């Protein structure tokens, strides 16, 4: 009765009325505006290798469909193509793969599905925020700016209730030094963030990974409730428990990229029994399916056969179980062949043709964020300040160390005077502060990359602007010289640009430290700018080196107008301008304000490059795919 009630709510049927053994063809399913029917036919995904390497077939002629109000599970052993199929349907394939076949949404081909959400296997959350704060900030970033505070609060509370997060709503999410919510609650929170915008099509990659059986059941049961209002839900899952498996409506079984079964989940055991591989009465169906198609079990069997004379060996030799008399490759080949010629495949294809003819459904394009960029900027700034105030490791520790070092510098160079030795001391102080400001920026890599992972919820302009405030705060705390302040903002901008190009913060620290070290060597402190080799290092490196401009401006700000004692006591005074031009190699043809303007222009340039990189990363996959496809075609022509 439960299944019948669900189908009435869904407004859609399964794969043929009257069961698999026959019966009248079901009428076309009723549909409502906003419902999404996803169909894919003969979907093949190839992994292209550069050069003359072989091409791997990740998916081979996979066919299926997903309907509103039903939860589809994509199951299979590791490396079977579950995540590949999910990414192919969601349009998230990487650039080095080529996809063929048809993917239709409501009978139409479209790359941008519109109101679609994707929950990744990794929970990308800020551990210093509470559950309610996380959902609230996400709602403010993604929902239309026309909604008032009460409307947003109502949506947030409704989402918390829908995902069963009431008990942990005011608890911190937690990180490496803050105790927080459980893994199941984190997964439900990740789902809550995606359903805020009420997507009609929801993809989930391994939503029960790392969870115990109770938490996994709660997550899938929550998804089942979410799907009751007509949403189409597709999830990749490895090996669910029998309780979790019973919650799925439809099932795709994959092995080695090939389709072993597609149809109603409750009919899969019957199909396996009909083709000669019945599921034992007390065995979990999903365990049995994977036992039939997972080649890892062959390795286990071979290991057991080496244990001569053992009880297990005798049991294996005497059993009539077909699974022990055939390899998984043979079982899989038999399943694939018999499925393609079965009534299950025929009825599934008929259902797919039926869904493909549905007309009148409009796919509304919906941006990932509908809030105005100014609203997002203020929300991101507020969220970041909350994150900063609660994160003792990345922010307060940094501030404490930097302020302490600044006090040390101030006390060491206190009342430096204008004697001859003060010339070298002032230059050393300027060089140290410039280098100190430079390497301070590397400390922001871990926290920035953590926030960068969630950039899908940002507008890119908001992302480029809101990150200014913390470097500005530290610069003001450390020193009040504007050149050093702007220089630190530039270093942070440079680190942001590098962070957007690297997969993890360790690689970013390595690349960032090397890049900054190179700029420090050409900034004019270790060797004066006129003495640098003209080719490359002087032109153009020193001219695009923000450290060089900042150091020149800081030296001018400090020494212009001063007079220093000569090398010989009682001798003529040395003017600051002369010291700058002769001893430090500073160009006095332009003022310190020109140096400041150059640093500001470079700051804007780095922020703009950061913006361009993020935009390019959004579109790099189709460009890369086209490049690789052209490369493969050229290789075929040359052969």
The secondary structure of 380-434, three-state, reads: HHHHHHHHHHHCHHHHHHHHHHHHHHHHHHHHHCCCCCCCHHHHHHHHHHHHHHH
pLDDT at 178 over 60: yes
- Residue 41 neighbours by CB distance under 10 Å: 17
At residue 334, the pLDDT reads 87
- Given pLDDT bands bounded at 50, 70 and 90, which one contains residue 156? very high
4-18, 55-69, 369-383: lowest mean pLDDT where?
4-18
At residue 615, the pLDDT reads 67
Can you tell me the distance from the alpha carbon of 159 to that of 163, in angstroms, rounded to the nearest whole number? 6
448-491 residue pLDDT tens: 666 665 544 444 444 444 454 455 555 554 544 444 554 555 55
- Domain spans in the chain, listed from the N-terminal domain onward: 373-622
- Given pLDDT bands bounded at 50, 70 and 90, which one contains residue 155? very high
At residue 481, the pLDDT reads 44
Residue 256: both structure tokens together: 């080695």
180-194, 243-257, 345-359: lowest mean pLDDT where?
345-359
pLDDT at 248 over 90: yes
- Given pLDDT bands bounded at 50, 70 and 90, which one contains residue 561? confident
- Given pLDDT bands bounded at 50, 70 and 90, which one contains residue 33? low
Average pLDDT over every residue of 288-316:
63
For the purposes of burial, counting CB atoms within 10 Å of the CB of 269, is it exposed (0-12), middle (13-18) or buried (19 or more)?
middle
Can you tell me the distance from the alpha carbon of 276 to that of 326, in angstroms, rounded to the nearest whole number? 12
Can you tell me the distance from the alpha carbon of 118 to that of 232, in angstroms, rounded to the nearest whole number? 12
Q: Which of 20-29, 36-45, 370-379 has the highest mean pLDDT?
A: 36-45
At residue 189, the pLDDT reads 92
Can you tell me the distance from the alpha carbon of 295 to that of 78, in angstroms, rounded to the nearest whole number? 10
C-alpha angle 554-556-557 in degrees, rounded to nearest 5: 60
At residue 173, the pLDDT reads 92
- Given pLDDT bands bounded at 50, 70 and 90, which one contains residue 23? very low
């Amino acid at each position: 009765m439960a299944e019948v009630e669900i189908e009435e709510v869904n407004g859609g049927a399964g794969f043929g009325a009257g069961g698999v053994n026959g019966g009248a063809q079901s009428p076309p399913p009723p549909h409502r505006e906003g419902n999404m029917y996803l169909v894919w036919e003969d979907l093949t995904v190839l992994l292209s290798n550069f050069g003359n390497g072989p091409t791997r077939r990740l998916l081979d002629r996979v066919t299926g469909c997903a309907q509103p109000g039903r939860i589809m599970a994509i199951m299979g052993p590791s490396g079977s193509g579950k995540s590949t199929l999910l990414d192919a349907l969601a349009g998230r394939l990487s650039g080095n793969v080529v996809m063929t076949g048809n993917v239709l949404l409501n009978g139409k081909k479209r790359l941008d599905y519109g109101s679609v959400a994707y929950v990744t296997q990794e929970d990308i959350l800020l551990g210093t925020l509470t559950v309610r704060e996380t959902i609230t900030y996400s709602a403010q970033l993604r929902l239309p700016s026309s909604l008032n505070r009460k409307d947003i609060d109502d949506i947030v509370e409704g989402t918390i209730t829908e995902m069963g997060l009431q008990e942990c709503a005011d608890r911190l999410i937690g990180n490496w030094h803050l105790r927080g919510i459980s893994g199941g609650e984190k997964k439900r929170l990740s789902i809550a963030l995606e359903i805020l915008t009420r997507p009609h099509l929801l993809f989930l990659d391994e939503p029960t990974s790392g969870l115990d059986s109770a938490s996994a059941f709660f997550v899938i049961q929550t998804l089942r409730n979410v799907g009751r209002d007509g949403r189409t839900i597709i999830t990749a899952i490895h090996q669910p428990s029998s309780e979790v498996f019973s919650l799925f409506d439809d099932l795709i079984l994959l092995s080695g990229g090939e389709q072993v079964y597609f149809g109603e989940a409750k009919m899969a055991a019957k199909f396996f029994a009909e083709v000669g591989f019945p599921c034992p009465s007390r065995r979990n169906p999903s365990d049995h399916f994977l036992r039939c198609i997972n080649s890892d079990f062959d390795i286990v069997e071979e290991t057991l056969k080496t244990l001569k004379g053992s009880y297990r060996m005798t049991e294996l030799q005497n059993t009539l179980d077909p699974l022990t008399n055939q390899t998984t490759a043979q079982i899989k080949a038999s399943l694939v062949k018999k499925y393609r010629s079965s009534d299950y495949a025929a009825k599934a294809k008929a259902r797919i043709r039926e869904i493909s003819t549905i007309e009148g459904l409009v796919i509304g394009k919906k941006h990932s964020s509908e809030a105005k960029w100014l609203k997002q900027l203020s929300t991101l700034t507020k969220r970041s300040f909350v994150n900063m105030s609660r994160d003792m490791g990345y922010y307060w520790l940094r501030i404490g160390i930097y302020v302490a070092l600044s006090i040390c510098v101030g006390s060491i160079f206190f009342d430096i005077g204008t004697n001859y030795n003060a010339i070298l001391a002032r230059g050393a102080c300027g060089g140290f502060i410039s280098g100190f400001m430079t390497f301070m920026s590397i400390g922001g890599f871990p926290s920035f990359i953590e926030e960068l992972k969630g950039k899908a919820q940002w507008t890119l302009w908001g992302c480029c602007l809101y990150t200014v405030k913390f470097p500005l705060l530290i610069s003001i705390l450390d020193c009040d010289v504007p050149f050093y302040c702007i220089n630190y903002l530039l270093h942070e901008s440079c680190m942001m640009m590098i962070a957007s190009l690297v997969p993890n913060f360790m690689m970013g620290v390595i690349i960032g430290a090397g890049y900054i070290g190179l700029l420090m060597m050409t900034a004019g402190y270790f060797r004066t700018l006129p003495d640098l080799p003209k080719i490359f290092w002087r032109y153009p490196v020193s001219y695009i080196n923000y450290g060089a401009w900042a150091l020149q401006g800081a030296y001018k700000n400090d020494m212009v107008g001063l007079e220093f004692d000569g090398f010989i006591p009682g001798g003529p005074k040395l003017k600051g301008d002369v010291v700058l031009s002769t001893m430090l190699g500073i160009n006095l043809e332009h003022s310190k304000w020109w140096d400041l303007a150059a640093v500001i222009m470079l700051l804007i340039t780095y922020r703009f490059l950061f913006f361009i990189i993020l935009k390019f990363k959004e579109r790099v996959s189709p460009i890369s795919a086209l490049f690789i496809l052209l490369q493969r075609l050229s290789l075929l022509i040359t052969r």
